[in-house]
Structure 1
């Protein structure tokens, strides 16, 4: 009876140890090394190999790679790198499991000891989520819903700032979020994706904040700057025009004063010239009148013959000259005197020529 009880207790202990072995060998989800499908992963060996060592890699209980010295017996040579680490490429879900290495010598004795294994868990990456918007309560409230799969975590973003809500739906007052964008960030252990931002259209403000994706205040500021520049340009143009007009009026005024001064000087010079010319002319006229009277007396009375021509007069009779000045210097002609005096009176400027004076007519001798 005692023997049976000992055998039963021994069997119970064996079952318990076997269960512990399977639990340890299979591992739990807590020690998983997660990887996304389609990605690559390298499981490190963490042991320095020698040329005489044999290397073996097991997935759960199956041998997936075995190399005796330098000869590959199971698997491919490129399944491991130069250090003996296992290379896994293009992962799929069926490659999930525990990977464990073994290192032995030429006699098949384990020299690596209990090397560290890796429990690989392959998961699909999350898909890009979408956000739908729904108006609630006569368009006074708005609800945003994030469409996701199973086992994924949700984070809500409002204008790229994280919110406290973690559920699939977020509700807000439409008026309070009139120009706000909502998006959700969905993630699992291996990947994450953010949805496109969505803006509510339940409540439409009278004055939009954006235009063509640019803030309306940018357009307002730009328009105000352009108007200010135009006003400054108009003011500068008005100042320039007024200044040019003032300068033109000043030049015209100076020109009129200059012409008036020139005319006044011209009249004074002409009056002075006539004052000096009149005595000479009177003397010449008297001399010509006396000569004509003497010629009339030389003709005999009753002479009805032809009138003698003036050209036939003797050359000894010359035209009287103007009297010489008292100082003995010759007096310049009136025209030359006026031309010489004009530059001195007008500061060196050229004066217009004087007007021609009418010639004094000498009285003709009466016919006999």
Structure 2
């Protein structure tokens, strides 16, 4: 009898300690900076004091007077331990023990720290069945989270499973799910199970419905809303068209100028040739108008001598 009472007392103390430890846990997010106070007194510790901080029994800071022996983490002037860029490995129990120069205790504190990853946005997948649909709330890397289902923007009470079965009469409603842990929460986009075909041919319908249900996620391209993306692409297209038209106009003007210069050169050459021909024709005409030499008269035979 005494042995049974001892075992029952041990179990009660064990579970009470476990629950108490979980309730007293201080939750912080990965990447945060957290300061663990040495005690409730907001006073600076004397320079000649001795101070030791431990994490799960391992010394992470230790000083004796002004000499610092171990310094895995820093402290401030009040002796509070400063934890920067928290990671999961920083979870655990932190204890402080210190003494003034005269040997009096600094009344160090103890704290249970729990570091958690922020939850990621969940997604709802739909699988059609003969009697309705099965909705699954899933998110990558979400551990130790609670799930809450929402129908038509109203929270569904007492439904905390990641899988939700929906009757055919509820397929017209919109569903979403929220995942949360001690430091954050995220809610999925609304989904309306569009299961119109059941039986063996429902797999293709499921795939089509899932694509339709995820329309809000597909409205993002390169990190922008789809409509903004269309506006930007249209604007860029218009600018490129204007630039192309300007280039064509410039090219035409350049070609027209080249043709005008060529025609001007040809006109100058033709004018020069015509001038030379006119000069040559004038010279020929002048030569043709000179007076002819006189025509010599007829010669008479000499008269015979007189006898």
Pick the structure with greater CA Rg: 1
Structure scoring higher RCO (CA < 8 A, sep ≥ 6) equals 2
| TM-score, scaled to structure 1 | 0.42
| TM-score, scaled to structure 2 | 0.50
More strand per residue = 2
